[in-house]
Amino acid sequence: MTDRRNARPTSVDPEGEFPFAPSDYVLHLLAAIHQFRDSALDARLKGLGLNVGRYRVLGVLNRFGACTMTELSHFTAIDRTTLTRIADQLVAAGQVERQTSARDRRQVLLDLTPPGLAIYLKALAIVFEFNGRILDGIPDDAHRATARTLKRVVENLAPDSLARESIIHFSREAPVPAPRPSEPARPSAPPPRRGRKPAS
């Protein structure tokens, strides 16, 4: 049996401000924020028949118009298995419809329905209010500094260039990176729909 009394932490803050090294503490806090925020938002969106995952998919469709599942996966960072389940739920609820691409009839697109847009706009108000509350008292320059830091984390962490550019630029007009040998080239896409920017 391990003698925990003699165990020593492998991550230490030399200034003693945090329970372990700042580089590790940042990721510890990010994991907690993700869990706390999603749980709280799920509860607030439940009355609309949504959760955070469904809300995010509706937000992408509102911003860009009809999307392929690959595009939705890149813009939401949701894995394909989970995304397929979310799409089925939204279609069953009448908030999203499946369409066939005019350029390739084998390709299936997802797009918002009018009821889906109405629900999304109600959810957006809830998310904006909640985001404002949890960031209350934090100055704008801190928001920008944090966003720049997290942008770099995404650059280091994203599984491929397509996922990285989609999350960082959140635009179909983002710079097209040169794919690594193991990565597919980015497919061409129609211009974005002009719509309200989603809150993540």
Q: What is the pLDDT along the chain (200 residues), one digit of tens a residue?
A: 555 555 555 899 999 999 999 999 999 999 999 999 999 999 999 999 999 999 999 999 999 999 999 999 999 999 999 999 999 999 999 999 999 877 777 789 999 999 999 999 999 999 999 999 999 999 999 999 999 999 999 999 999 999 999 999 999 886 655 554 444 454 444 444 545 556 66
Domains of the chain: 19-136 (1.10.10.10), 137-178 (no CATH)
Please list the residues that pair with 98 across neighbouring strands. Answer: 110
DSSP classification of residue 10? S
Do you know the residue count of the chain? Answer: 200
Q: pLDDT value at position 3?
A: 59
Closest to 190 measured CA to CA, from 14, 89, 66: 66
Beta strands in the chain (DSSP E): 96-100, 108-112
Count how many Cα atoms sit within 13 Å of the Cα of residue 188 in the half-sphere of its side chain. 3
Q: pLDDT value at position 167?
A: 95
Instruction: Report whether 49 contacts 64 (CB < 8 A).
Output: no
Rounded alpha-carbon distances, angstroms, from residue 132 to 78, 80, 182: 24, 30, 41
Neighbour count for residue 192 (Cβ, 10 Å): 13
* Rounded Cα gap, residues 199 and 45, in angstroms: 14
Q: What is the pTM of this model?
A: 0.82
- Token digits for 128? 């904006």
